[in-house]
Amino acid sequence: MEAVILRPKKDGRYEMISGHRRLLACKKLGLESIPSRVRNLTDDEAIIYMVDSNLHREKLLPSEKAYAYKMKYDALQHQRRTTVDHSDTEVRPVGTVVRSDSILADEVGESARQIQRYIRLTYLIPKLLQMVDNGELKESPSIALRPAVELSFLNNEEQKMLAEYIEFNLVTPSLEQAIKLKELSRGGILKEENIETLLDVPKANQIQKFKINEEKLFNVVPKNIERDKLEDFVIKACEFYSKHLRNKERER
């Protein structure tokens, strides 16, 4: 229905710009050829074309949007530095330019501020970025977009500390908490104990988690219990113990 797009390479071969999923599908179907169009595109034009093709997909995760917007933004910025579009006859006040994020915003139907928020997500470590995607995937733990933007200003080591705390405690920061974490980071005083103090305050919509010391727990459970089956084992053990206590009460 729609041809894939290629561009010629200097060595005589071709580079696919858009249509990678269609190519894979056709290969799996055993097709030997597919319709294609060849276009002479610069590196910046190729990136923009590729991103535009991906942005037309029905559902995109926040991480996919983030890197797509970042790639196109960078390509637009590079184009503006290296080329001048003499056909642009729009009258503007002296000394003003159209920002690349504004151009991108008009094309994708989001505000320039929202474009910049998504681009900030590319500064998150993979674990935290996955938690942002979890919001769309309806998985836990998940971090909302606005708090995630604030957390992107933390350095990598601080983000790793935060990710470990979230994974162990299954609690994620609100926007207010994320802003405080960023302020502590900028002051150079964000430590593990700060993270615990800030996040150890239950939010209104958050189910409180019961904490058990991991070392103590593994000292009393059978050695052959795998980590991913530990919760189920503990619950069954508690049910068995409760049943045993009830039987004892009846005997009395």
Mean per-residue pLDDT of the chain: 84
Token duo for residue 15: 């580079």
Question: Pick from 175, 148, 176: which is nearest to 163 by CA?
Answer: 148
What phi-psi label fits residue 20: left (phi over 0), alpha (psi between -120 and 50 degrees) or beta?
alpha
Percent of the chain at pLDDT exceeding 70: 88
CA gap 84, 18 in Å, rounded: 26
Token duo for residue 132: 């942002």
- Sorted by where each begins, the domain ranges of the chain are 4-82+99-121, 126-199, 214-251
Pairing of strands 4-8, 36-38: parallel
- At 107 the pLDDT is 75
CA gap 120, 182 in Å, rounded: 14
Place of tokens 């604030």: 150
Q: How confident is the model at residue 223 (pLDDT cuts 50, 70, 90)?
A: confident
Tell me: the pLDDT tens digits for 59-81?
Answer: 888 998 898 889 888 888 887 77
Tell me: the pLDDT tens digits for 129-183?
Answer: 999 999 888 888 999 999 999 999 999 999 999 999 999 888 999 999 999 999 9
What are residue 6's DSSP bridge partners?
A: 16, 38
Q: How confident is the model at residue 90 (pLDDT cuts 50, 70, 90)?
A: very low
H/E stretch holding 58:
none
Tell me: the pLDDT tens digits for 104-132?
Answer: 787 777 888 998 999 999 999 999 999 99
The SS3 call for residue 36 is: strand
The SS3 call for residue 14 is: strand
H/E stretch holding 87:
none
CA distances (Å), origin 123, targets 189, 199, 225: 20, 22, 37
Exposed, middle or buried: residue 48 (CB in 10 Å: 0-12, 13-18, 19+)? buried
CA distances (Å), origin 7, targets 27, 52, 71, 119, 200: 20, 16, 18, 27, 54
Task: Find all residues with CB under 8 Å of 185, minimum gap 6, and list them.
Answer: 153, 154, 155, 158
Tell me: the pLDDT tens digits for 176-216?
Answer: 999 999 999 999 999 999 999 999 876 655 555 566 777 77
Neighbours of 122 (CB within 10 A): 14
Q: How confident is the model at residue 93 (pLDDT cuts 50, 70, 90)?
A: very low
pTM of the entire predicted model: 0.63
